Amino acid sequence: MTTTLIFTQLTIREAQRRKILWVGLLMGLVFLALFAVGFHYIVAEMEKHASLEEALTITGVLLTAGLYAVDLLVILMAVLISVAAVSGEIESHTVDVLVTKPIHRWQIILGKWLGFAILLTLYILYLAGGLMLIVYLRAGFLMNNIAAGLGLMMLQALLILSLTILGGTRLSTLANGVLAFMLFGLAFLGGWIEQIGALFQNETAVNIGIITSLIMPTEILWKRAITLFQPQFATSAYLAGPFAITSQPSEVMMWYAVGYTAVLLLLALYSFSHRDL
C-alpha cells in the first residue's frame, strides 16, 4: 500500500508541475466571479419585481444551471488530466523504467487513479461549494441533500476517470480521449431521449434511454443528483433541458453505476498488469 500511496503523491506533484492545478484554480475563480456578479444583479431585479415564490424558483434554476456547468467542467477535467496518464507514458517508454523495479504494475495504476480522484474531488468541492456559498450569502437559498448530491457528482467524475485510465492501458491517447467523450455524449443524448419519451409516454424512447444508461451511466447520476438537490424539479415538465426530470433514476441504477465504476477500475488494473510493454 505504501508503494501505491507514493504513486498517488507523484501524480499530484506531476499535476502541480504541469500547472494543471493552478490553471484549474484560476479559471475556477474566474467562473465563480462571473457567476457571482451575474447572480447579484439578477437577485437585485427579483427583489424589486418578483414574488417570494418566483424568486425561490428562479434562484433554484440559476444555481442548478451553475452546477450543471460545474458538472461538465469536472467531466472535461477528468478526461484531460488522465487521458495520457498511462498511454502517454507507454508511448514515451517512461513506464519501462518503473516496471523493471520490484513493484506490482497494478500499484502504478491504482496510485495514479487515487491521485486523480483526490484532485477531482477537491475540484468539485471548490466549484460546487463556491457556487452554493455565493447563492447562500446573496439570497439565503440552500439546496437539499447537499452531501448526497455532491457525492453523485463525484461518482460521475470517478466513473469517467476509471474509463480513461482503462482506455489508456490499451489505446493511444487520442483514441482514448475520443472514446471517453463519445461515450459521455451517448449517455447525454440517451438521457434526453428518455426524458422526452417519459414526458410523452413513449415506451420505445424510454427504453432507448435506459439502454444508453446501461452502456454509460453518467447522465443518470446527474439526474439523480438534481432530484436530491431540488426535489421540486422532479416531474416538472416546464423546466426544459438538463433540469427536466420526468423519468427519475432508480436506486438500483445508482448501485449499478457504483459497480460499473469499480469494474472499470479493476479491468484497468488487470489490463495494465497483463499487457506487453
pLDDT digits (tens, 9 = 90+) for 30-84: 999 999 999 999 999 888 887 877 788 888 889 999 999 999 999 999 999 999 8
C-alpha neighbours within 13 Å on the C-beta side of residue 217 = 25
C-alpha radius of gyration, the chain, whole number = 20
pLDDT at 144 exceeding the cut of 60: yes
CB 209 within 8 A of CB 120: no
- Report percent pLDDT > 90 for the chain: 55
Which three cell numbers mark 93? 517508454
Beta bridge partners of 134: none
Where in the chain are the domains? 2-274
pLDDT, residue 99, reads 64
175-224 pLDDT, tens digit per residue, is: 999 999 999 999 999 988 888 888 788 889 989 989 999 999 999 999 89
CB 245 within 8 A of CB 235: yes
Count of CB atoms within 10 A of residue 4's CB? 20
Model pTM?
Answer: 0.92
Quickly state the pLDDT bin for 2 (edges 50, 70, 90).
Answer: confident
Cα separation of 63 and 128, whole Å? 9
Closest to 112 (Cα-Cα) out of 166, 54, 187 = 166
Q: Which residue has the cell 484560476?
A: 26
89-101 pLDDT, tens digit per residue, is: 777 767 666 666 6
